[in-house]
Amino acid sequence: MATGTLLDADPSGKSVDQKVYRSMIGSLLYLAVSRPDIMFATCFCARYQSTPKESHFSAVKRILRYLKGSPNIGLWYPKDSRFELTAFTDADHAGCKLDRKSTSGSCQFIGDKLVSWTSKKQNCVSTSTAEAEYVAAASCCSQVLWMMTRLRDFGYNYKRVPIYCDSKSAISIIANPIQHSKTKHIDVRYHFIKDHVEKGNIEMHFVQTDFQLADLFTKQLDEKRFQFLISKLGMLNMS
């Protein structure tokens, strides 16, 4: 997506064919299952399917032009690699102009292989960056626990799975066993992550923002940053 400007509802913009717009979004969401590089942009444009405008249509066509120029980029899964489970979580605080909700992004790796990723607008309005990061970490934890359960069926047992977050405040909230007044307003369904840290199922680790791989799923980025992150995710030009 283009940097500098963020899509909004654009109420004064010219309307476009809703059926065509939705069909384009549906096709891109199907493709995003194997192309994590378009996940954020596609999900962001999908928020405006009810009343699409020309500005939204132009953003979708920009994604299509990118795909046309990079048909051979894909995920590479080497057969000889490690098999430990790791995850990255990030959030863009109040990134949506419609309702000021934040965007959660996460990705999970088995060894060096990217196997799961998500970009989703949060259900609640976060009052701080730490809260947004905390909610995103809880969502990432849910995905990690599900993966641990599935992999256990194949004989792989994991303990203390590392989840990397670039917010020290969110990590401190998770590590603190006592709920204080500043965190009581956070919905109780997000606090289960504390329990799993205490049980030793997961561990929270700090990572510098420059190496936060989930950054790709929370906001639009400049070309240099974008290319750096997709290479770190294991995407290669197969040609």
What is the Cα–Cα distance from 4 to 99, expressed in whole angstroms? 19
For domain 85-232, the CATH architecture is 2-Layer Sandwich (3.30)
Q: What pLDDT sits at residue 239?
A: 82
Q: What pLDDT sits at residue 180?
A: 56
Q: What pLDDT sits at residue 177?
A: 62
Q: What pLDDT sits at residue 90?
A: 96
User: What residues does each domain of the chain span?
Assistant: 18-71, 85-232
Q: What pLDDT sits at residue 3?
A: 85
Tokens found for residue 67 = 């795909």
Predicted model pTM: 0.92
Q: What pLDDT sits at residue 168?
A: 93
What is the Cα–Cα distance from 97 to 92, expressed in whole angstroms? 12
CA 206 remoteness from chain centre: 17
Give which of 127, 171, 163, 135 is closest to 147, Cα–Cα.
Answer: 163
Q: What pLDDT sits at residue 139?
A: 93
Segments in the chain below pLDDT 70: 177-185, 187-189
